[in-house]
Structure 1
């Protein structure tokens, strides 16, 4: 038989998170005496002292720090169990939140969303466009149910969804094309590179920055395409997104000696598959199907 209850662990965690018994009482809407009593019963049941006695200041003992980490995990798992039960009770979910990196082909995304909406017409979808670490940050924070990210997700499920091919491009009139020779990465560093900023709050990276002396940083790949189409810089851009610009000659691949083509794996991520409803599962299945037809980038020799 368990020595402690979930409610006792919840009161213990509340005291730590709030920074004291008075503060915890306000946050959980219970009397200070009831929280004291719950924590004392917990300490007695475990045979451990969880808090140092320092007057009004609340600090954890070494044992208390270990128990706090375990309590956080225990309460999170309990919350997950209730969420799964709610999903089973309610049946089909009515709301689906998705974070998708801007490098993912929009046509495939829209087709997958449309198919799911046709199957579940009452489903409301919230789509958040992100860059680099942004999608997984939202997933980790519980703000979305599914993330389509260029990074794997360490705290839940992650699978390789597809490869996205990037091509180094510039407008045909850009000075780099006027050199009329095979280019090296050193050649590029003398010209302006357009990079996309990480949408995560941490802002850990800029997408594909070469280290060029000049750079413009933007928040969306569409802005990057507009800038480069006007001859104002170069960048590595996703082939599936710039296919039309390559075909009509607005953009032209740079004749790089090496590195003209790059690949990035896009990952399908979610925290807990048991908490996904039928609509979310249908979306995932349709997404997998759509990515089977992702076009390959042409070889640079064929496009020059």
Structure 2
């Protein structure tokens, strides 16, 4: 039989988070005496002292710090189990929230969602456009159910879905296309490079800046494409985004000695596979089938 209760662990963590018994009482809407009683009983059951008085404050003991780490894990696991139970009891999700990196071909996402909607017409779809680290930040914060990203997540599941080719491009009249030889990175530094700003708040990455003397940052790959199409710079852009412009001659590939193309893996990322409902799983399955049919050039 367990010697401690979840309520005791919750009160213990509440005291730590709030910074004291009085503060915790106002946060959890319980009396100070009931919180103190729960923590005292927890200490007695564990046989260790969790807090000690330092001046007018209570601080964690060494044992308390260890128990806090274990207690957080316990409470997070309980929350996870409860969330899974809620998902099972509710059955089909009422909404599917997906973060999609702008480099991933949107038509593939839309085709997959169209098939999912045919099976689950009552489900609302919320698509969030992201850049670079933005997808994983939204997943980490629980603001989306899953996402498509070029970056893996250290503490979550990362399922590779495909590889996307990026190519160096410029407008057909850009000066870089007038060179009668292969270009080097030194050649590029004299011209404006268009790079994409990370949509994440906590983590920021620049998309492949090579030290060009002039760079313009934009918030989306679509904005980058618009600037390139108007002859205002060069950039590395995903092949699915520029394929039509290359085919009609508006854009041209830069003749780089090396580094003219790059291939990047994209992943379906999510925090907990057990929490994914039937709609999310159906979307992942449809997406896999469609990416298998993507041309190798993409």
Asked if Structure 1 and Structure 2 have the same fold, meaning a TM-score greater than 0.5 normalized by the shorter chain, the answer is: yes
Unaligned runs of 5+ in 2: none
Tell me the CA shift for residue 102 of structure 1: 0.8
Separation (CA, whole Å) in 2 of partners of 1:34 and 1:56: 20
Separation (CA, whole Å) in 1 of partners of 2:70 and 2:141: 19
Structure 2 counterpart of 1:114:
114
Tell me the CA shift for residue 58 of structure 1: 2.8
Q: Mean alpha-carbon deviation: is it higher for 11-20 or for 216-225?
A: 11-20
CA contact (8 A) 1:153 1:269 kept: yes
Structure 2 counterpart of 1:215:
215
Which residues in structure 2 correspond to 1:95-174 (within 5 Å)?
Answer: 95-174=95-174
CA contact (8 A) 1:12 1:39 kept: yes
Once superposed, which parts of structure 1, at least 4 consecutive aligned residues long, lie more than 4 Å away? none
Separation (CA, whole Å) in 2 of partners of 1:55 and 1:125: 54
CA contact (8 A) 1:20 1:56 kept: no
Tell me the CA shift for residue 180 of structure 1: 2.3
Q: What SS does the corresponding residue of 1:207 show, helix, strand or coil? A: coil
Structure 2 counterpart of 1:14:
14
Corresponding position: 1:270 with 2:264: no
Separation (CA, whole Å) in 1 of partners of 2:168 and 2:110: 26
Separation (CA, whole Å) in 2 of partners of 1:96 and 1:73: 27
Structure 1 counterpart of 2:184:
184
Q: Mean alpha-carbon deviation: is it higher for 177-186 or for 49-58?
A: 49-58
Corresponding position: 1:32 with 2:32: yes
Separation (CA, whole Å) in 2 of partners of 1:12 and 1:55: 20
Separation (CA, whole Å) in 2 of partners of 1:77 and 1:162: 32
Structure 1 counterpart of 2:233:
233
Q: What SS does the corresponding residue of 1:206 show, helix, strand or coil? A: coil
Q: C-alpha root-mean-square deviation of aligned residues, in Å?
A: 1.2
Q: What SS does the corresponding residue of 1:92 show, helix, strand or coil? A: coil
Structure 2 counterpart of 1:59:
59
Tell me the CA shift for residue 211 of structure 1: 1.6
Separation (CA, whole Å) in 1 of partners of 2:42 and 2:290: 53
Tell me the CA shift for residue 72 of structure 1: 1.1
Q: What SS does the corresponding residue of 1:209 show, helix, strand or coil? A: coil
Structure 1 counterpart of 2:287:
287
CA contact (8 A) 1:240 1:295 kept: no
Which residues in structure 2 correspond to 1:78-93 (within 5 Å)?
Answer: 78-93=78-93
Number of aligned residue pairs: 298
Separation (CA, whole Å) in 2 of partners of 1:81 and 1:263: 39
Q: Taking structure 2 as the reference length, what is the TM-score of the superposition?
A: 0.97
Separation (CA, whole Å) in 2 of partners of 1:52 and 1:196: 51
Q: What SS does the corresponding residue of 1:7 show, helix, strand or coil? A: helix
Tell me the CA shift for residue 255 of structure 1: 0.5
Q: What SS does the corresponding residue of 1:66 show, helix, strand or coil? A: helix
Q: Taking structure 1 as the reference length, what is the TM-score of the superposition?
A: 0.95
Which residues in structure 2 correspond to 1:253-264 (within 5 Å)?
Answer: 253-264=253-264
Separation (CA, whole Å) in 2 of partners of 1:233 and 1:125: 36
Unaligned runs of 5+ in 1: 299-304
Tell me the CA shift for residue 52 of structure 1: 1.8
Separation (CA, whole Å) in 2 of partners of 1:201 and 1:23: 30
Structure 2 counterpart of 1:302:
none
CA contact (8 A) 1:164 1:264 kept: yes
1:47-71, CA deviations, whole angstroms, 9 ceiling, x for partnerless residues?
1111121254232111111111111
1:219-274, CA deviations, whole angstroms, 9 ceiling, x for partnerless residues?
10000000010111000000011111111111110001111010111011111111
Corresponding position: 1:73 with 2:73: yes
